[in-house]
Amino acid sequence: MYSREITIVNESGLHARPASDFVKLAGTFQSRIELKRLGEEKTYNAKSIIMLMSLGLAQGEKAILSAEGEDEKEAVDALAELVANLEG
Protein backbone atom coordinates (compact mmCIF):
# COMPACT_ATOMS: atom_id res chain seq x y z
CA MET A 1 0.00 0.00 0.00
CA TYR A 2 1.22 3.48 -0.88
CA SER A 3 -0.16 6.64 0.79
CA ARG A 4 0.33 10.39 0.73
CA GLU A 5 -1.11 13.27 2.68
CA ILE A 6 -2.84 15.81 0.45
CA THR A 7 -4.32 19.25 1.06
CA ILE A 8 -7.43 20.43 -0.75
CA VAL A 9 -6.52 23.73 -2.41
CA ASN A 10 -9.57 24.27 -4.63
CA GLU A 11 -11.78 27.03 -3.21
CA SER A 12 -14.91 24.89 -3.65
CA GLY A 13 -13.24 21.85 -2.12
CA LEU A 14 -13.50 18.41 -3.66
CA HIS A 15 -17.07 18.86 -4.91
CA ALA A 16 -18.92 18.67 -8.26
CA ARG A 17 -16.52 19.13 -11.21
CA PRO A 18 -13.30 18.65 -9.20
CA ALA A 19 -14.69 15.42 -7.73
CA SER A 20 -15.73 14.26 -11.18
CA ASP A 21 -12.22 14.91 -12.54
CA PHE A 22 -10.74 13.04 -9.57
CA VAL A 23 -12.99 9.99 -10.01
CA LYS A 24 -12.37 9.93 -13.76
CA LEU A 25 -8.60 9.83 -13.25
CA ALA A 26 -8.87 7.32 -10.38
CA GLY A 27 -10.83 5.00 -12.68
CA THR A 28 -7.90 4.75 -15.06
CA PHE A 29 -5.84 2.84 -12.48
CA GLN A 30 -6.11 -0.85 -11.55
CA SER A 31 -5.35 -0.31 -7.86
CA ARG A 32 -7.96 0.05 -5.13
CA ILE A 33 -7.87 3.74 -4.21
CA GLU A 34 -9.19 5.21 -0.98
CA LEU A 35 -9.39 8.64 0.57
CA LYS A 36 -9.95 9.60 4.21
CA ARG A 37 -10.03 12.85 6.14
CA LEU A 38 -6.88 13.29 8.20
CA GLY A 39 -7.53 12.16 11.78
CA GLU A 40 -10.54 10.01 10.92
CA GLU A 41 -10.73 6.24 10.49
CA LYS A 42 -13.48 5.92 7.88
CA THR A 43 -12.18 5.47 4.35
CA TYR A 44 -14.02 6.27 1.12
CA ASN A 45 -13.75 4.60 -2.26
CA ALA A 46 -12.03 7.23 -4.41
CA LYS A 47 -13.44 5.72 -7.60
CA SER A 48 -17.02 6.50 -6.54
CA ILE A 49 -18.39 10.01 -7.13
CA ILE A 50 -21.09 9.40 -4.51
CA MET A 51 -18.56 8.36 -1.87
CA LEU A 52 -16.26 11.26 -2.70
CA MET A 53 -19.09 13.79 -2.54
CA SER A 54 -20.27 12.37 0.80
CA LEU A 55 -16.76 12.83 2.20
CA GLY A 56 -17.20 16.55 1.54
CA LEU A 57 -13.61 17.75 1.74
CA ALA A 58 -13.42 21.56 1.88
CA GLN A 59 -10.62 23.93 0.94
CA GLY A 60 -7.70 23.69 3.36
CA GLU A 61 -8.63 20.25 4.69
CA LYS A 62 -6.04 17.50 4.73
CA ALA A 63 -6.67 13.92 3.72
CA ILE A 64 -4.81 10.67 3.27
CA LEU A 65 -4.86 9.29 -0.26
CA SER A 66 -3.88 5.64 -0.50
CA ALA A 67 -3.84 2.90 -3.09
CA GLU A 68 -3.10 -0.80 -3.11
CA GLY A 69 -2.30 -2.71 -6.26
CA GLU A 70 0.07 -2.99 -9.17
CA ASP A 71 0.01 0.73 -10.05
CA GLU A 72 -0.49 2.12 -6.51
CA LYS A 73 2.37 4.63 -6.53
CA GLU A 74 1.48 5.98 -9.96
CA ALA A 75 -2.18 6.30 -8.94
CA VAL A 76 -1.51 8.18 -5.70
CA ASP A 77 1.08 10.47 -7.24
CA ALA A 78 -1.13 11.34 -10.24
CA LEU A 79 -4.18 12.00 -8.07
CA ALA A 80 -2.17 14.07 -5.57
CA GLU A 81 -0.89 16.20 -8.44
CA LEU A 82 -4.43 16.62 -9.78
CA VAL A 83 -5.68 17.79 -6.36
CA ALA A 84 -2.79 20.24 -6.05
CA ASN A 85 -3.68 21.79 -9.41
CA LEU A 86 -7.51 21.77 -9.35
CA GLU A 87 -9.14 25.13 -9.91
CA GLY A 88 -12.73 26.35 -9.70
- C-alpha Rg value of the chain to the nearest Å: 11
Distance of CA 59 to the CA centre of its chain: 13
Give dist(CA 7, CA 31) in Å, integer: 22
Domain positions in the chain: 2-85
pTM here? 0.94
Q: Residues 47-75: pLDDT tens digits?
A: 999 999 999 999 999 999 999 999 999 99
Overall fold of domain 2-85: Histidine-containing Protein; Chain: A; (3.30.1340)
Annotation marks residue 1 as catalytic: no
Which one is catalytic: 4, 7, 15, 64?
Answer: 15
Give dist(CA 31, CA 17) in Å, integer: 23
The pLDDT, as a whole number, for residue 60 is 96
Note whether 34 and 43 are within 8 A (CB): yes
